[in-house]
Amino acid sequence: MNSNRKTIIAGNWKMNKTPKEAEALLKEIVPKAAGAACEVVVCTPYVDLPAACETVKGSNIKVGAENCHFKASGAYTGEISTGMLTELGVSYVIIGHSERREYFAETDATVAEKVAVALEAGLGPIMCVGESLEQREQNVTDEHIRTQIKIGLSKVSKENMPKVVIAYEPIWAIGTGKTATSAQAQEVCKMIRGTLAEMYGADTAEKVTIQYGGSMNAKNAAELLAQPDIDGGLIGGASLKAEDFGAIIAAAK
């Protein structure tokens, strides 16, 4: 963590919790986030967003969505636009999560479109990048992630870049209980910052929040967050337990 950058701990609830369950969980999380030294974000399923925005009112928690569409409106059955999100009071949106890429055919090109519309709407995009186990074993992690970043950010100006959050998620560590060692995670996050420096200059790269998101939990959060290029976490399973999420927030000193 670097004190010049915003530290962001964000929960990604994935397809979990009904609106009533969301309200109950957030009522437990709100006091744990009070006085946090970092920005706290909860990204919930679309149907939970109204309840989430209502429940966190007056607290220091921001609400995020888990996806958005790249058009403002139109014949896209089942999709949700950035305008719909901002009207609810949503502040962030996760874009290009590995599960969206794997199960819903998202590509680096669609990620680029979504990042651009999110910024246009005033939302903070949390753009996910990461390699599979096969890619890591074949030693192509850097090339793969550099491609994801260069295409995913291809429509982002230097001026807007500090508003984008990058979440590094080694796919082999999501939901598997395996975590990259803090050294492995730092190595990739440093490479990501180096790529941003090539694209936008070192000054801009230094302002960008880079999260780690591969099975970060209450036990390993402090060690991961102590790394110089890791500025927060995108938390899956642990964000669904108020106790665990609270412990991760507390580790982000």
- 122 pLDDT above the threshold of 70: yes
Report helix, strand or coil for 229: coil
Q: Can you read off the two tokens belonging to residue 99?
A: 């599960």
CB 65 within 8 A of CB 46: yes
Q: Which of 185, 194, 196 is nearest to 232 (CA)?
A: 185
**Residue 173 confidence class, pLDDT cut points 50, 70, 90:** confident
- The confidence score (pLDDT) of residue 175 equals 73
144 is catalytic: no
Q: Is 2's pLDDT higher than 80?
A: no
Mean pLDDT, rounded, for 25-42:
97
Q: Is residue 2 part of a domain?
A: no
| pLDDT at residue number 1 | 65
Give the residue, 181 or 117, on which the prediction is more confident.
Answer: 117
Q: Does 31 map to a domain?
A: yes
Domain count, the chain: 1
Candidates 224, 242, 110, 84; CA nearest to 167 is 224
The answer to whether residue 3 sits within a structural domain is no
Provide the token pair at 1.
């963590």
What integer best gives the mean pLDDT of the chain? Answer: 95
Between CA 242 and CA 231 the distance in angstroms is 21
Residue 1 counted as domain residue: no
Give the domain CATH number at 133: 3.20.20.70
Active-site position among 39, 99, 131, 169? 169
Would you call 234 helix, strand, or coil by DSSP?
strand
Asked if residues 69 and 110 have their Cβ atoms less than 8 Å apart, the reply is no
Q: Please tell me the predicted confidence (pLDDT) of residue 177.
A: 76
**236 occurs within a structural domain:** yes
How many angstroms separate the most distant Cα atoms in the chain? Answer: 48
Which range marks the domain in which residue 27 is found? 8-251
φ and ψ at residue 178, rounded to 5 degrees: -80, 140
The count of other CB atoms within 10 Å of the CB of residue 167 is 28
* Annotation marks residue 97 as catalytic: yes
199-216 pLDDT tens trace: 999 999 999 999 999 889
Of the residues 69, 97, 106, 131, which is catalytic? 97
pLDDT at 174 > cutoff 80: no
Q: Is the pLDDT of residue 110 over 70?
A: yes
Tokens 């801009």 belong to 204
- Is 62's pLDDT higher than 90? yes
Grade residue 59 by pLDDT with cuts at 50, 70 and 90. very high
End-to-end C-alpha distance for the chain, whole angstroms: 9
